[in-house]
Structures are given as structure tokens and as C-alpha cells.
Amino acid sequence: MRSRATFLVGALMLAGLLSGVTASSVAAATSTTVTWRVSSLTAGQVKSLSAIATSNSSGVKTWSKKGSCTLTPKSDPTKLTMGTGISCTLTLKIAKSGKHPAKTSTKTITRKPYRVGQTGPGGGIIFYVDLTRPEGSQYFEAACAGWSDGTCGGSDLTWLTAVWGCRETSIIGADGTAIGDGEQNTADIIAADCPDSAMDTLAAEYAYDLVLGGQSDWFLPSKDELNQLYTNRAMVGGSLTCGWWSSSEFDANYAWFEVFCREASDKNVKTNPFHVRPVRSF
């Protein structure tokens, strides 16, 4: 009987204690929320991480990523730069802070497709889009006016002229005319190291050596790439000056160029100077 009485007394005491519990007498935990404010970005777009996601907790935040994007600086990132791939998955870990428990939240940010006429990652203008092409060559961007001094805009907006060069020389591999051939054509011209390049900077060399908008993968467009630049000239802007060199060789003495002032592709002697507009694909 004594043990039963002890049990009853204990139960009554516990009930009394519980009846005195109020919301204010116990510090209730507050849920930690994360609000993602960005779901897609264009390739090359830079965004502050604090603008991508916000939280009601002041706990220490740790960011990590997988996929096509870059976080900077590496040690304690504050910015995201979207890559050219399909998506970037961000993970935000928030440490416990006061009433707010720790939390981990993940978000996949997709790459917005570019449109013709938009500014590209290199500061140039998108002039061709084909999303059926392999990743890394779906977009083509033309260098901006004034590209020859390594900047866009400024006081010098003239278009540089140069010879194609390599006269009386057939360059193996530089005869591609299709969209996607310009980069390889340019590489083959550079590799040929033609004797006349010691006297004149060739059109392909100007394009190959260009660093613009933080990008260094520019090349002289192929015949068909240059034709697309002409086709979309109203949205791309630039000059309607007649002659523009392509990187497509015709034979040992001639190469293809585009006549913008009368909408025609033609071949011309490699030693003639025509205008140069580098492009890049990504």
C-alpha cells in the first residue's frame, strides 16, 4: 500500500506542475525559413548570394554548389556567376542561432536561354542561337564595336581591317564553311605560321589574340557564321561596311568574305585588307 500511495502522490504532484506550464514559461523553438528569390539566370550573369536566398535566422551561412556556376570568393562566397551549362544546384546551410534551429536548403537554378540581340558574356552581341547544337556551341556572340582596343564602347568605335594572309599557301583544315567551323579554321591558320604574318597581323591573328569581357576564346567566323551575322545585322548592330573576312579558305590564293553592302558571299585575294569582327561560341 505504501508504494501505491507514493505513486499517487507523485502523479498528483506532476499533474500540478503541468497545469502551471504556460507558453511564456518555456522558450519555444522558432522554425528557420529560407526563401529562394531566384530560379533562373543567364550565362555569365552575376548575382549576390544575399539576393538569391534570404532567411529569418541570423545563423552562420555556408554555401556550396554543384553544376554550372562559380561562387566567389572561394573561402566565404558572396556572389554567384552563372555558367553556360544547363543548371546550377546551390546548397545553403544555416547554423543554429538562438531560437532558430540549424537548417539545410537546396535550390536548382536553371540557365536562361539567350536571344539574338542580347549582350553576351564577353560584352558582345548574340547573333546566332541553336539549342540543338552540342553544349558549349549553342550561342554565337560577335565582338562589340571598338573591340580592337579590348573594350566595348569608348571613343574609338572604328572597325579594324587586316589581310587574310597566307597567300600561295593551302592550309589544311581551314576550308570549313559551316556554322561551328570558324574556331577550327582560326586555329589552323594560326598553326600554319605563314611567312607573311611576320610583316602583317593577319585577320585570324587579331581574333585569336583578343581578350574582351574576360573572354579569350574569340575566333574569325566561318563563311556561314559570318552570313548569320549579316542576316541578323539589324539586331546585332555594327557597321554595314562592305567587306568582312571569314576564316574559310577557298584555295591557296583566295578566301571567302562577306559583302554586307550587297548581301553576297564571295571569294577574294588573301592579300586584300577587309574588316574583321571576331566571334566566340559558348
- Say what the pLDDT of residue 152 is: 84
- Say what the pLDDT of residue 43 is: 82
Residue 37 is placed in which grid cell? 528569390
Residue 216 is placed in which grid cell? 579569350
- Say what the pLDDT of residue 117 is: 94
Query: DSSP state, 121?
Result: T
- Say what the pLDDT of residue 236 is: 87
Mean pLDDT of 22-48: 80
Parallel/antiparallel/unpaired status of strands 161-163 and 273-275:
antiparallel
Residue 23 has pLDDT above 70, yes or no: no
Contact assessment for residue 194 and residue 169, using Cβ atoms and an 8 Å cutoff = yes
Residue 98 is placed in which grid cell? 538562438
Torsion over CA of 25, 27, 29 and 33, rounded to 10 degrees? 110
Residue 147, SS3 per DSSP: helix
- Say what the pLDDT of residue 17 is: 42
Cα angle 202, 139, 218 (rounded to 5 degrees) comes to 20
Mean pLDDT of 21-34: 64
Parallel/antiparallel/unpaired status of strands 69-72 and 273-275:
unpaired
Q: What's the pTM value of the predicted model, to 2 decimals?
A: 0.71
Mean pLDDT of 231-260: 89
Residue 262 has pLDDT above 80, yes or no: no
Identify which of 255, 70, 74, 278 has the alpha carbon closest to the alpha carbon of residue 167: 255
Which percentage of the chain shows pLDDT scores above 90? 69
Per-residue pLDDT band for 238 (boundaries 50, 70, 90) equals: low
Mean pLDDT of all residues belonging to the chain: 88
Residue 26 has pLDDT above 80, yes or no: no
Q: Which residue has the higher pLDDT, 1 or 61?
A: 61
- Say what the pLDDT of residue 6 is: 47
Domains (range + CATH), the chain? 28-112 (2.60.40.10), 125-281 (no CATH)
- Say what the pLDDT of residue 196 is: 80
Residue 14 has pLDDT above 60, yes or no: no
Residue 7 has pLDDT above 50, yes or no: no
Backbone phi, psi, residue 214, to 5° = 80, 5
Per-residue pLDDT band for 39 (boundaries 50, 70, 90) equals: very high
Which percentage of the chain shows pLDDT scores above 70? 87
Residue 209 has pLDDT above 80, yes or no: yes
pLDDT (tens digit, 9 = 90+) per residue, 57-102? 999 999 999 999 999 999 999 999 998 788 999 999 999 999 999 9
- Say what the pLDDT of residue 12 is: 39
Q: Which residue has the higher pLDDT, 21 or 159?
A: 159
